[in-house]
Every structure is written in C-alpha cells, then in structure tokens.
Chain A
Amino acid sequence: MSGLTATQGGSRLLIKGAWVITLDTDLGDLPRGDVLIVGSKIAAVGRSLDVADAEIIDGTDRIVIPGFVDTHRHLWQTQLRGIAADWTLMQYLSTILGHVAPAFTPEDTYAGNLLGVLEGLDAGITTMVDWSHALNTPAHADAAFDALADSGARAVLAHGNTSAIWGAPDAVADWSDLARLQNERANSDDQLVTLAVAARGPDYANMDVTVADWKAARDLGLRVTLHAGAGAFTQRPVATLNERGLLGPDVTYAHCCRLHDDEVQMIADTGGSVSIATEVEMHMGHGYPPLAKLWGAGIRPSLSIDVCTGIGGDMFTAMRATLAAQRAMENEDHLNHGTDPERLELTSRDVLQFATIDGARACGFDSKIGSITPGKEADLVLLRTDVLNLHPVNNPVAQVALAASTVNVDTVLVGGRVVKREGHLVDVDVARVRRLADESRDRLIAAVPGARVGGDWTPNTRFAVAEA
C-alpha cells in the first residue's frame, strides 16, 4: 500500500499498532491495526500500513475507538455542577430554568459552555449537541457559540431560545436571532460548530407556538430536537406532533421514557432519532429509559448526559447505566416468569454503538463521523490499557463499555487535530477555564435568593408545563 505516501493535502498522522475498534461493519475490530489520518480525515485503516512521512502515534497499549457523541447536553449550566444531585425533575425545572437561568449573563453562558465541552473532550466526547435553552439575548447566543468554537470540539448549538419561554407554554419564541447566527457564523456544514433548533414541543408549549417553532427550523433548514415523554406530566407529545404532521427524519426526541407504543412507532415510521439520558432519567424521575420499546419499533437510540447539575459528564458511566437499567428490566421479567435469563439481549457492543455511530446518526452526521471509516472525519479516542482497570486486555469492546473511564482517555482527535495528548488537553488554558467557572458559579449563587454551595439547597417552587 505504498500509494499511501501520495498526494492528499494536509498533515499526516499514523496511529500504529493499536487495538482498533472501528464500529464499521465492514472493517470490524483490528487487534493490531493502524489508522492513517491525512488532514482532517481518516485516509486508511488496516494492518501494517506502509506509510512514509507521517507523524507516528504509538498505539501500543492503546484501544482506538470513534469519538463519543453526546446527543443532548445542557452545557450552559455546567458551572452549577452537582447542585441538583438530589433534585427531582420538577425541582430542577423550577429552580434552574425558573430562577437561575434568568440570572445568566453572556459571560456565564460562555463559562458554562466552555467548561462543559472541555469536560467532554477530556472524557473522549468529540461531538456535543449543546441543548442551549437559556439564550436570553443575542450576546448569550454568541457567547455559547464562541465557547464551542474555542474548544476545538465538534458541536451542534441547538438553539433553545430564551429561558423565559420555558415555564410559559403560551409564549411565542422569536427566532430572528437564529437566522442572524446562521448568516454570520454558521453558514457552512463543514465547520465544526453548526446549528439546530431546540424546541419546547408539546410537553412544554401549546400547539400553536410549537407549529411556529417547527416552521422556523424548517425554514432555516435546521434539525429540531425536543424533550418528549419525560416526567409524570407528559401527555402523548409525539401523537400530538403527528396530528400536525410535524414528525420527520430531521427530529431528535430526547428521553421518550413515557411515550406510548404507538408514539414510538410514529417516530420510527417517520425516521426520527432518539436520545436517551439513562442516568438522569432514573435519578430525576423522567421514567425508565424505553429501550426495549425503541428497538421493538426499529429504533437504535443514541446516548446523552443531559445535565451535569447532577452527574458527571462522561459516556462511560452512561453506557454502564444503560446496560444496567435495561438488563435489570429484562432480567426481572425473566425472574417474574420463573426462569433465570439464558442470554442477555443488549450487548456491550450495542451500547458502544449507541454512544458513537448511533449518536452520529441522531445528529445527521453518520456519513461524516461515528465510525473509523476511510473518508470520515478523524474524530478518534485512544484509550490507555496499561492502567490497572483495563489490564489485561481480554475483551476490548466490553472493557471499553463496562470498565474504562476518563482515566484511560489518553489522546483525543477532532477532525484530525489532537485536542488531548497523553492525558492532557492541548492548547487549553485550564487555569482560565477554572477561574471563569468559579467566578460564574459565585456570581450565580449570589444572584439567586437562597442558593448556596455545600449541597444542602433543595428549593421547592412551581414550574408550569403544558396543559392537555
């Protein structure tokens, strides 16, 4: 394969001799494989590639996987990390959206977004759907966009409009600033940061404004993402959307826990995608993740972290929690019928796919990222296996899904650029990120009556959701 020395432009990087989990159905797993990166793209994958003139990344004691894709995360609130660890969904909605979000300055939005997206990169999440629903002024939107662009990650700024329209089901959203952003800052699909619309949908808004939100997104040619079917208050949101003809392959439905079977089928029939935030759903009372229901209808979900106000922002625990939750339900069903389970339906490879290629699909990016396939963008993670928690390597896919953690994330590439090398984020002024986050936290805690650090703040306030 000496032809690989040839002509394509850009820098050349060769990951040599790693255990490569391509998640490409044709290429499979390569116990000692090489990955050649030219410019931003994967140029070749194989055994003992004959390559000259490339910078070598030694793959000894490394597993290479596609970068993780988090399809639903509210990055803006990252500096409130842990504040909602003991809150239910309603406590969270009323407090964070109702009381804290209005206090956000653009500087706070920047600080939260930057911290969260870097936390993601540090943990091997190369693509983040930033579900940004406190863009209270154009300056907030610019700040959110700036932080994503400054980070080096691939990201979708899912514009969720102002926090004031949340908890106000009849409020009409003004999308004019989104058009401005698209014109000024996100006019190419090839750039790392792109746009989508994060709409309230029928659980949080009346149908007239929902129709208007969808029209705005589709007029701009942007994908739509919404929360659907989470919490005790949800009332057949997908069926309601379907009545108005709003479902489609451009829609991503987050949670879906309490959707009825026919609604899940409607999503499948219209080619929609789903984002599951297993851990948050179970912690906060969204309902059980509806995994069996989804694949019964032919849908493979993607995974998401949702909010770091409760949990840490890595996909490793997301995969573990998803396996545990689903298997718990399946196994309980067996035991209730008087049989021990004979096999497990959901495999560790499945959840690794959910966290990568299925996530890419949910963003409409599956031709671009999500597997280690020549021609795709080089969004890659190298996991160290010479750490005690992954040694000896025995069952790599399973060990990545059920035993690896951020401690193993050695090197991360986004679009061929190394953003983390040998355990350290590259070109990131970590002290500045910390300072911005600390200052923002302090400002927000001071701005909200009753708020305090230490973990014992549990407010009880009201939040309005849509009426049936």
Chain B
Amino acid sequence: MSSRTLLKGGWVVTMAAGEAPFVGDVLIEDEVIAAVGRLDAVEDAAIVDARRHIVLPGFIDSHRHTWQSALPGIACDWTLAQYFARIRGQLAPRFRPEDTYAGTLLGVAEALDAGITTVVDWSHNINTPEDADNAWQALVDGGGRAIFSYGASNAQALARDGSPHTRDVARMRNGVGSSDSGRVTLGMAVRGPEFSEPDAWAHDWGLARELGLPVTVHVGDGLRGANGTIFRLDELGLLGADTTFVHCSMLSDEELDRIAATGGRASVSPEVEANMGHGTPATGRLRERGIVTGLSSDVCTNVGGDMFAAMRVALALQRGADHAAAHGRGQALADVTLTVREILEMATIDSAAACGLDDRIGSLEPGKQADIVVLRGDTPGLVPLIDPVGAAALAAGVHNVDTVFVAGRAVKRNGRLVDLDRTRVMDLAQRSHEHLLAGVNQEEWRTPASGLRV
C-alpha cells in the first residue's frame, strides 16, 4: 500500500520550463511526485493545507563545505588568503573523524531547516578513510539528499602538490556509494590546476571517470585563478560534461567559452566570492554562454547557509554590475538583466542540472523525487502575496520554511525538524567547536580593526 500526501491549494511554483505559478495541488506518492495541477478528489491521501503558502522544489546547494559548519561565522571578516591560512593551516589539522561527523551533520541539518533538500557536500578535509565514512554517515543520518564529493586531505590542500587523490574513493564506490540513485551518492572533489600540480590532474579526473563519478573543482579563485586554468585542463583533454566548475570568477571569456563548448557546468557562490575576494561573480558571463549555473553557499564560516540570502545577494551583485555598465555608457537599462524567476531557477532546477541531478530533482513534475518545500505565505514579511516567485526569491527567509519533504518523507513540519534529534546535533557541534578552538586566541580573528576612518 503506497503512502500518499496531497499538498492542497497552495501557490505552486513548479520551476518546470515555461510554467507560470498557479494555485493548485501536488500529490506525493511514496518517494515521488505523482501529480501536479488542480487535482480533483484524491483518495487515501494525507492532506497538507497549503492555502496561503508557496509550494516549490527543495533548494539545491551545489557546493557547500559542510565539514566546517561547527565554526560558523569565524571567517566573516577574513579574506580568502586569511581563510586558507587559518582554516587550512591552523584548524583543519585538528579535525578528528568525529569533528567531520559533527560539522557535516550540523551543516545538513541547518540546510534542511532552511529548505535546502540537496547539498553537494564538498568535503575536502578527508585525511583518513574514517573521515570519509564519518562524513558519509552524517549525510545519511541528516536525512537530506546529498552528493558526497570526496575531496583531498588537508596535507594535500596545504602542499598543493601533484600527489594523487586517494583511491579510498574506490572503496566507497564499491561499497556504500555504488548506487547513483540513492539519497546519498558519491562524487569527487578534485583540487585541479589552482590547488595541485599537473601530475594530479589527469590522475584525479581519470580516477573519477574510471569510477563513473561526477567531478567538482574550484576554478577562477582570486589571482591564482587568472592563469589559464581551463586551458591547461583542455590541453590534457580533461574538460567534460561530468565536471562542475565552481566559482569561475577570474576565468577569461575564452576559458568560459571552452567550458561551454565541452558541456561543462558551473556553480557560483556570489556572496562568498564578493566577501572574500575570489573576483567578480561570473553569474552573467556564464549564463550568457548557456552554461548551466547553479547557486551555492560555499562556506558557513563566512556567510549564513540559506539560499534566501544567497539569491538576494547574487541577484543584487549581478544587476548592480549590469546597471553600472549601462551608467558607464551614459544609459539606463530599460529592463533588469536577471529576473527573480532566473535566480530561483539557479537555486533549484539549474543547481540540479549543475550537479547532474535534474532528471530526478529540481522541479515539481510527475515522476521526479518528491523534494518539496512549503513556505508559509502568511507571515508579516510575505503577506499579501502578489508574486510567489518574487516572494520566494527576494522576501522569504528561514522563518517561512514550514514543511520540507525529501523523497516524499517529511523532514520538517510546522516549522520544526522531525526525526532528527536537534539536541544531539547541537551538542555534537558544540563539543566539536570547543575541541577545534581550544587554546586558539580568537580575539584578533574576531575583531579586526575596521578600515573605515570614521
């Protein structure tokens, strides 16, 4: 006997191509979306009254380093260079497997609470197989959908050498990560030309392709990202549609053209890129080349981990740059360049495509996995609803996230996470936090002098 849930009478924002929002229903049957529309009587279904609320696909964070989640806000006032020196140089070596577990679990829980149903967990502090197993277990225990993108060790991250990516990933591929259709699946996060020597490149991409795993790589990060990263990979024939290029800020137009020509996909984290100095977000340049581009939150050590602020800041930065360019020509834009619909696509269906998951998630369409968010539309900050897309993209917040489904299972109801033991999640994070920062003098980190002269 299948289990059926009917989300009834909400503003349904399917994010299916070309489909406008409508007031209607979504029927969930077991793990999948069975029907979407103005449905007549449905028998034997639990009803969720969605009137006044917005029903949309779960958000997809296409690049997030959840392992750092127990250090929230520590890097708010740091540059990228300070981040590398302090997180990598000082704190990452302190991580034990239980810290990886605690951080990853907190990160996934925070994401679910904020309506992010899928996280690409860019896990690049994997120093032992036990670390990898702990990260994986946290993703399983968290209850969200995830790609565990198995990354480098801290020693490799610090050395930036040509050492090969560990073959321990093959162990996982042959074990827990053998299925590509489970809730938690396996991928590889490689260092690439900006964080490793050439010997590693062909090896790492080769390993991923041998194992049939999607690849994600940081490129275009600050000055080190302005040295022809993509051309180097291209010379080795490593570009391809299985690779998600993260950031891309400092890549040249010609490099972006090569990503487009080889079917590559992208993920941008505009808020972090702006704050830490990766370079001007490449949102517009990627999109105008037709490169599918997802949105991501990157590091919660720097910015809060919800897609609401991510969308607003990404949209502001792109539009701001486009308006300024027009002003520079003595003109004003007649229309905005990037719409709220497009930024919401970047947080849902485009992010799904950027991770290779768009056949399964990212929109509310029959047959897809039932990863769904119901946003309360009756809070003082959202009433009255005029434009559900604009409301979801530019006005909602975590306090609006009422109900969240992952694969048809309610993981949040009435504003509260269900199943997940919040107290345990928070206690583990607190203990990990205390271990990681024991004896560290944070005063200088916390309160840098302002550069303002007033």
Query: Which chain A residues have a beta carbon within 8 Å of chain B's beta carbons?
Result: 79-83, 85-91, 115, 118-119, 122-123, 231-233, 258, 278-279, 281-288, 295-296, 298-300, 308, 310-314, 316-317, 320-321, 323-325, 327-328, 331-332, 334-335, 338-350, 386-392, 394-395, 397-399, 401-407, 425, 430, 433-434, 437-438, 440-441, 445, 453-456, 458, 460
In the complex, residue of chain B having the shortest beta-carbon distance to the beta carbon of A111: B384
Question: A232-B327, A314-B381, A338-B223 are known contacts. Are A331 and B451 too (CB-CB below 8 A)?
Answer: no
A425 to B80 alpha-carbon distance, docked (Å): 40
Q: How far is the CB of B338 from chain A (nearest CB, A)?
A: 9
Interface stretch (choices B33-41, B123-131, B356-364, B425-433)? B425-433
Task: Identify B336's interface contact among A283, A334, A392, A433, CB under 8 A.
Answer: A283
Tally of contacts, chain A with chain B, CB under 8 A: 323
29 contacts between A and B (CB under 8 A): A80-B386, A81-B385, A91-B335, A119-B381, A282-B323, A283-B315, A283-B320, A285-B319, A287-B327, A295-B454, A300-B452, A308-B395, A314-B381, A320-B303, A320-B304, A321-B313, A327-B274, A328-B317, A331-B277, A340-B81, A340-B277, A341-B277, A342-B79, A345-B452, A395-B73, A404-B304, A405-B397, A455-B386, A455-B390
Q: Besides the contacts A283-B316, A324-B270, A433-B380, what 9 more A-B pairs have beta carbons closer than 8 Å?
A: A87-B336, A279-B316, A288-B320, A335-B222, A389-B306, A392-B429, A397-B446, A405-B398, A453-B387
- B176 an interface residue at 8 Å Cβ cutoff? no
Could you tell me if B316 and A278 are in contact, using CB atoms closer than 8 angstroms? yes
Known: A79-B384, A334-B277, A455-B386. A85 touches B394 (CB 8 A): yes
Complex Cα distance A208/B391, Å? 41
Evaluate contact between A405 and B308: CB separation under 8 angstroms.
Answer: yes
Answer yes or no: B326 CB below 8 A from chain A CBs.
yes
- As a 0/1 sequence over residues 291 to 334 of chain B, the CB contacts with chain A under 8 angstroms (1 = contact) are 00000000010111110110011011101100110110011111
- A270 vs B229: C-alpha distance when bound (angstroms): 51
Closest A-chain residue to B378, C-beta based? A434
CA distance A295 to B451 in the complex (A): 10
Q: Which residue of A lies closest to B77 (CB)?
A: A347
Minimum distance in angstroms from B82 CB to a CB of chain A: 8
Contacts of A406 in B (CB 8 A): 381, 397-399
Shortest Cβ distance from B387 into A: residue: A455
Report Cα–Cα, A321/B334, bound state, in Å: 23
B72 x A82 contact (CB < 8 A): no
Which of A87, A118, A284, A458 neighbours the largest number of chain B CB atoms within 10 Å of its CB? Answer: A284
Known: A300-B452, A406-B397, A434-B384. A395 touches B429 (CB 8 A): no
Q: Please, which residues of chain B bring their CB within 8 A of the CB of A403?
A: 72-73, 76, 300, 303-305
Nearest chain A CB to B182's CB is how many angstroms away?
A: 24
What A residues does B276 contact at CB under 8 A?
Answer: 327, 331
Give CA–CA (A88, B337) in the complex, Å. 10
B237-291 interface (Cβ within 8 A of A): 250, 270-271, 273-281
B144-187, CB under 8 A of A: which get 1 and which 0? Answer: 00000000000000000000000000000000000000000000
Chain B residue, CB-CB nearest to A409: B399
A361 to B391, CA, bound (A): 32
> What's the minimum C-beta distance from A233 to chain B, rounded to whole angstroms?
7
Which chain B residues (371-396) contact chain A, with CB distance < 8 Å?
Answer: 378-391, 393-396
- The answer for the CA separation of A80 and B77 in the assembled complex, in Å, is 36
| Given A81-B391, A344-B451: A388 in contact with B77 (beta carbons within 8 A) | no
Which single residue of chain A is at the shortest CB-CB distance from B313? A324
Residues of B within 8 A of A312 (CB): 312, 381-382, 394-397
Residues of A within 8 A of B366 (CB): none
A329 CB to closest chain B CB (Å) equals: 9
Check if A425 sits within 8 Å of B380, measured CB to CB.
Answer: yes
Given the known A-B contacts A85-B340, A391-B429, A395-B74, are A402 and B312 also in contact in the complex, defined by CB atoms under 8 Å? no
- State whether A340 touches B80 (Cβ < 8 A): yes
Residues in B with CB closer than 8 Å to A402 are: 73, 76, 302-304
Whether, in the assembled complex, B447 has its beta carbon less than 8 Å from a beta carbon of chain A, the answer is: yes
B316 and A299 within 8 A (CB): no
Q: Which chain A residues lie closer than 8 Å to B379 at the CB level?
A: 122
Binding site for A on B (CB under 8 A): 20-21, 70-74, 76-82, 106, 109-110, 113-114, 222-223, 226, 250, 270-271, 273-281, 300, 302-306, 308-309, 312-313, 315-317, 319-320, 323-324, 326-327, 330-336, 339-341, 378-391, 393-399, 422, 425-426, 429-430, 433, 437, 442, 445-454
In Å, the complex CA distance between A278 and B320 comes to: 9
* B394 and A320 contacting across the interface, CB-CB below 8 Å: no
Asked, given contacts A279-B316, A454-B21, whether A399 binds B72 with beta carbons under 8 Å apart, the answer is yes
User: Which chain A positions have C-beta within 8 A of B109?
Assistant: 388
Cβ-neighbour of B426 out of A91, A284, A388, A433 (below 8 A): A388
B396 CB, nearest partner CB in chain A, Å: 7
| Cα–Cα distance between A295 and B315 once the two chains are bound (Å) | 26
- What CA separation (Å) do A339 and B79 show in the bound complex? 12
**Closest chain B residue to A120, Cβ basis:** B380
Indicate if the CB atoms of B394 and A115 lie closer than 8 Å: no
CA A121 – CA B395 in complex, angstroms?
A: 15
| Chain B: CB-nearest residue to A81 | B386
Closest to B388 in A: A455
Residues of chain B within 8 A (CB-CB) of A282 are 316-317, 319-320, 323
Neighbouring A residues of B390 by C-beta, 8 Å: 82-83, 85-86, 310, 455
Contacts A81-B386, A82-B395, A324-B317 known; A295 to B452 CB distance under 8 Å?
Answer: yes
Question: How many Å from the CB of B119 to the closest CB on chain A?
Answer: 14
Complex contacts, B78 vs chain A, CB 8 Å:
344
Q: Within the complex, which residue of A86, A346, A425 is in contact with B339, where a contact is CB–CB below 8 Å?
A: A86
Q: Residues of A contacting B446 with CB < 8 Å?
A: 395, 397-398
B contact residues around A89 at 8 Å (CB): 332
Q: Is B331's CB under 8 angstroms from A394's CB?
A: no
8 nearest A-B residue pairs (beta carbon): A345-B451, A455-B387, A282-B320, A85-B390, A398-B76, A403-B304, A312-B395, A328-B274
Which among A324, A332, A343, A394 is the interface contact of B437 at CB below 8 angstroms? A394
Which partner residue on chain A sits nearest B272 by CB separation?
A324
A299:B454 contact, CB within 8 angstroms:
yes
Which chain B residues border A231 with CB–CB below 8 Å? 332
Assess whether B222 is in contact with A340, with CB atoms less than 8 Å apart. Answer: yes
Q: How far is the CB of A43 from chain B (nearest CB, A)?
A: 28
- Shortest beta-carbon distance from A114 to chain B in Å: 10
- Measured in the bound complex, the distance between the Cα atoms of B391 and A86 in whole Å is 12
What is the CA–CA distance of A123 and B380 in the complex, to the nearest angstrom? 9
Distance A455 CA – B273 CA, assembled complex (angstroms): 30
Picked from B114, B309, B330, B339, the residue with its CB within 8 Å of the CB of A317 is B309
Interface centre among A122, A284, A314, A340 (most CB of B within 10 A): A340
